[in-house]
Structures are given as C-alpha cells and as structure tokens.
Amino acid sequence: MIESPLLEKLTGYIGGQWIEDAPGDTFDVYNPATGDVIAQVASLSEANVQAAVEAGKSALRLTEPYSIDTRKKWLEDIRDALKANKEEVGRILCMEHGKPLQEAQGEVDYAAGFFDYCAKHVQALDAHELPDKARGCSWTVHYRPIGVAGLITPWNFPIGMIAKKLSAALAAGCPSVIKPASETPLTMIALFSLLDKHVDLPEGMVNLVMGKASVIGKVLCESPDVPMLSFTGSTEVGRKLILDTAEQVKKLALELGGNAPFIVFDDADLDAAADNLIANKFRGGGQTCVCANRIFVHEAVADAFGEKLAERVAKMTVGNGINGDVDIGPLINKAGFDKVKRHLEDALDKGADLVAGKSPQDLGDGLFFPPTVVTGVTRDMCCYREETFGPLVPMALFRTEEEVIDAGNDTEFGLASYVFTNDAKRAQRVAAGLRFGHCGWNTGTGPTPEAPFGGMKASGIGREGGLEGLFEFVEAQTVPRGF
Ligand code: ADP
C-alpha cells in the first residue's frame, strides 16, 4: 500500500472536509508497473454526490461575488502549494499512472503553470464599460460565474487535466464537483490535501467525489444545480454527456479523442523531426490525446527518416517509472495493452513492416510495451483509423502537399497535428488546411497554459488554456444603463 502524508483520507471531500462516514464500498487502485493494489478508495453513493452539489451551491456567490483579488490569491496559493510539493505529488502520480518519475514531477510543474497563468490574467474577467452615445446609454459587460461546474478528468494526466479546468473555474468564481478517473484518484486526493491545508477556499468551493462513473455522471448530468460540465476523455463518453445533458441545455466543455497526423516533408530537418516525434509520441507511454498517431513521411525521405527513428528508438528504455532511469513506463491497464497489441497485429497482418520493437507473439505478459515502429501503413489499418494510445509509431508515405492534407483530415478527429518543413509558406498552407485545433510547425509541443487548446470536429467543444480557456466558466451579462 502506498504511504504518504498527502493520502491520509481516501474518501472524498465535500463542503470543506473529508467525508467521515463514506459508504463501505471501495475500489482498488493499482500500480501498473507492479500490478500491486496500492490503495482502496471509497466509492461514493448518489447521495454523497448530491451533497457535493449542494455544498457547491452554497459556495456560489452571485450578488456579492468573490473579488478578483480573492480569486487571484486562491490561484497563487494553489500554484505555490503544488510547486512546494512537486516531488511527493509526482511520486504518487508515478505510482498510480506509471509514467517515469521525472515526467510525473514535470507534470506537477505543468499543472502549477495553469494556476499561475490564471492568477496573472484573472483581471481580464473584471467588468468593463461600453459607452453607447448613439442610444444614450452605457453598457456594462459582466463576466458572471456560470455556477457549480462538474469537472471530469481522465487518467493520462492526473494533475495536468484538473489544473486546466480548476484554474479557470476558480478564476471565474465557480465552485466545482470534481471526479477523477478511477485509475488515478490518488493524485487528486493529494491535490485536495494541499487545498485543504494551504489554500483558504470557502467551504464547498471544491468538492471531490470518486467511485462509479455512472452514479456520479448521472447526478452531474441531471442536477439543475450543475449548469456546466467540463470533461476530458473519450469521444464515446463525450457523446453520452451531450445526450444526457441535452434536456437541460447545459454548457459543455469537451476535450475528446484525437488522431494526430505528424507530417514530415522532404525539406524538413530530419533529425529535429525525429527528436520531436520521439518526445511527442512517447510522452506518457504514448497515452496522450496529442500523441502523433499517424506519421506521414514524404517518400523521398522515408528511408532516411525511418533509420533515424529506429536508431533513437533502439536507445529507449522501458520499465518501472519510479526507478527514475526509464523513458517509458507501463501502459495503464490490460485493456490498454491489448489495444496496442491488436493494432500492431492488424497492421502486420495487412502488410505493414516491423522496423523497431517486438513481434506481437514476443510481447509477453505485463503492461510494458516496447517502443515500436511500423512502416507501410495504409488507411484500412486500425492504427490509422483509431487512436492507438500506446508506443506504436505507424508510418505512411505521401507524395504531394494536397494529398497529405487530405490524408491528415481523413478522420473524424481534429485535436493536434504537426508539420515539419523548412518552407514557411507551405507550413502556413498546411496548417490552414488541417482541421485541427493545434498544428505544431517544426515542433511536437502540446498544450501550454498560455495558448488556447482544444479540438475541432469530434475532438470536442471549447478551449482550455489562454484567455479563451479563462473565459470558459463565465457567462457574459450586459447591463445597459440609461443616462
Ligand atoms: P479514458 O479512455 O480516459 O478512460 P473515459 O472517457 O472512459 O476515457 O473516461 C474519462 C473520465 O470520464 C473518467 O473519469 C471516467 O470515469 C469518466 N466517465 C466515464 N463514463 C462516464 C459517464 N457516463 N459520466 C460521467 N463520467 C464518466
């Protein structure tokens, strides 16, 4: 079992305190590197979730809103608490997610960056005046908190994803009811320990509920006191949330699946492209929605690029992330491992070639999947059509710019994309043609606190990060006043 001063209570947090009388039901949390159960966390009841919504409601202030300064202070204190506890939060994150320790601790810094950004820009949510001489009145535009927000997060960035949502919700003055993924609740519990000890939040401003997604999701979707859900996860669940909230016309912010194209033109710096692909593709073991999923390489440089990639992959190490000296940890669970294996088998069956990695029959037991590169990928293969969510690099060839834009867009998804070329005009044309919310030019960098990030098409609705993300949890209200 995991021991930590940040994991004293494994229940839930409602109305400014840990739940003392949680139901007896629990769920197990595993360390994917060892298969060991490291904690048993309370699985809350519908009544608990309703109590969390009530607590949130009691913290919502409309007629006398929390001042900008108060909100700024909350955000700064959370940033500072995360930074001061980066090592311990990162250790917990590493143990339940599996990503290498340094990467896990880096994610805590990344999360702190979102609170920092919102603290620095919360002033933008202050009201402003629009003079209107023609009509003889003056308009005040207010940014009102939308209300209690349900924040639902996935397991792949246990602290990063909640940071994006919670920073913007608090900046807006919105209380929240937070549900982490059942694979990684411990990092969230650690965050709540820090909030409890170090941040002077009003009771009910932040509430933590864990347990069955169906039970929690039902209350959040059906309660008229929760006007907004911010969700990151699969497109399948995102669609369900759209349907389940349609009756009440709730506001939804959805960051859903991706199928990122990574395009390498023949004039690109191939070493830089290979380095960026490695950093992008193997982050979190390939289990991120911005990981390159289809690598399109111009036919003139395909062999050279494939060799550079294979050289780099051969040097990568896979193992228990807590040891600190590995590049890739385990996949999150057996279902995740089996999916990557199925994609590899399917690609090889349909004619792809294995350039680096192991054949499916040599993969063995456990959740460690070696970095794997296949070439000759075609659009009928699963690894082309679906998000693999693992360390499999599928390479396909292309000849023309037009062809590769069409191929890149040949997916229902539109989250992240990448283009490597030294021709600025071409980069601009390709970025404009790709229907993706993010298009890295000569970089595999993903979302940052300063830039709005989100999906087009079935990859979602809304943006996180940047001023656009800051404005997600407010509703503009205009108050025109006659002279
Ligand atoms: P992933 O592939 O990351 O597991 P999911 O979409 O299955 O993606 O889950 C993302 C988050 O959404 C998790 O916290 C999960 O428990 C939660 N979730 C799954 N189903 C529902 C639902 N019906 N209502 C609300 N939350 C849900």
Q: Is residue 454 part of a domain?
A: no
Residue pair 16/203 in contact (Cβ under 8 Å)? The answer is yes
Per-residue pLDDT at 324 exceeds 90: no
CA 128 / ligand 1 centre spacing (Å): 38
Active site residue 255: yes
* Domain shared by 220 and 244, yes or no: yes
Ligand 1 pocket, 237 CB below 6 A? yes
Ligand 1 pocket, 234 CB below 6 A? yes
pLDDT per position as a tens digit, 39-58: 999 999 999 999 999 999 99
* Domain shared by 48 and 183, yes or no: yes
* Domain shared by 227 and 329, yes or no: no
pLDDT per position as a tens digit, 162-180: 999 999 999 999 999 999 9
Residue minimizing CA distance to atom 15 of ligand 1: 181
- Residue of 255, 387, 401, 464 marked active site: 255
Q: Is residue 4 part of a domain?
A: no
Q: What is the mean pLDDT of residues 126-141?
A: 92
pLDDT of residue 94: 98
CA 296 / ligand 1 centre spacing (Å): 31
C-alpha pair distances (Å), 196 with each of 49, 180, 182, 408, 444: 19, 17, 21, 46, 36
Residue minimizing CA distance to atom 9 of ligand 1: 233
Per-residue pLDDT at 483 exceeds 80: no
Residue pair 245/225 in contact (Cβ under 8 Å)? The answer is no
* Domain shared by 362 and 381, yes or no: yes
CA 235 / ligand 1 centre spacing (Å): 10
Ligand 1 pocket, 63 CB below 6 A? no
* Domain shared by 228 and 270, yes or no: no
Ligand 1 pocket, 155 CB below 6 A? yes
Q: Is residue 311 part of a domain?
A: yes
* Domain shared by 24 and 160, yes or no: yes
Q: Is residue 8 part of a domain?
A: no
pLDDT per position as a tens digit, 254-303: 999 999 999 999 999 999 999 999 999 999 999 999 999 999 999 999 99
Per-residue pLDDT at 418 exceeds 80: yes
SS3 479: strand
For a ligand 1 pocket test, name from 230, 237, 252 the mutation site with the most ligand atoms within 8 angstroms of its C-beta.
237
Q: Is residue 453 part of a domain?
A: no
Percent of the chain surpassing pLDDT 90: 96
With CA atoms as reference, report the closest residue to 110 among 82, 73, 88: 82
pLDDT of residue 365: 84
* Domain shared by 199 and 63, yes or no: yes
Q: Is residue 1 part of a domain?
A: no
User: In angstroms, rounded to a whole number, what is the distance separating the alpha carbons of residues 209 and 156?
Assistant: 18
**Is the alpha carbon torsion for 210, 216, 217, 221 positive or negative?**
negative
Query: What global pTM score does this model have?
Result: 0.98
The phi, psi pair for 373, rounded to 5°, reads: -125, 130
* Domain shared by 249 and 264, yes or no: no
CA 156 / ligand 1 centre spacing (Å): 12
User: In angstroms, rounded to a whole number, what is the distance separating the alpha carbons of residues 230 and 253?
Assistant: 5
Rg over CA atoms, the chain: 23
Residue minimizing CA distance to atom 20 of ligand 1: 213
Residue type, 339: K
Ligand 1 pocket, 214 CB below 6 A? yes
Per-residue pLDDT at 84 exceeds 90: yes
Full domain range(s) for residue 242: 13-256+459-482
CATH code for position 268: 3.40.309.10
Could you give the number of structural domains in the chain? 2
CATH code for position 149: 3.40.605.10
Per-residue pLDDT at 79 exceeds 80: yes
* Domain shared by 107 and 148, yes or no: yes
Q: Is residue 152 part of a domain?
A: yes
Ligand 1 pocket, 333 CB below 6 A? no
User: Tokens 């995991």 correspond to what residue?
Assistant: 2
Ligand 1 pocket, 378 CB below 6 A? no
Residue pair 202/34 in contact (Cβ under 8 Å)? The answer is no
Q: Is residue 124 part of a domain?
A: yes
pLDDT of residue 482: 84
State the closest ligand 1 atom to the C-alpha of 238, by its place in the atom list counted from 1. 6
Please count the CA atoms within 13 angstroms of the CA of 157 that sit on its side-chain side: 24
* Domain shared by 296 and 398, yes or no: yes
State the closest ligand 1 atom to the C-alpha of 152, by its place in the atom list counted from 1. 14
* Domain shared by 265 and 202, yes or no: no
Confidence grade of residue 384 (pLDDT, cut at 50, 70, 90): very high
Residue minimizing CA distance to atom 11 of ligand 1: 154
pLDDT per position as a tens digit, 443-480: 999 999 999 999 999 999 999 999 999 999 999 999 99
With CA atoms as reference, report the closest residue to 169 among 257, 250, 80, 60: 60
* Domain shared by 60 and 207, yes or no: yes
Residue type, 9: K
Residue pair 98/333 in contact (Cβ under 8 Å)? The answer is no
Ligand 1 pocket, 26 CB below 6 A? no
Strand 206-208, strand 176-179: pairing: parallel
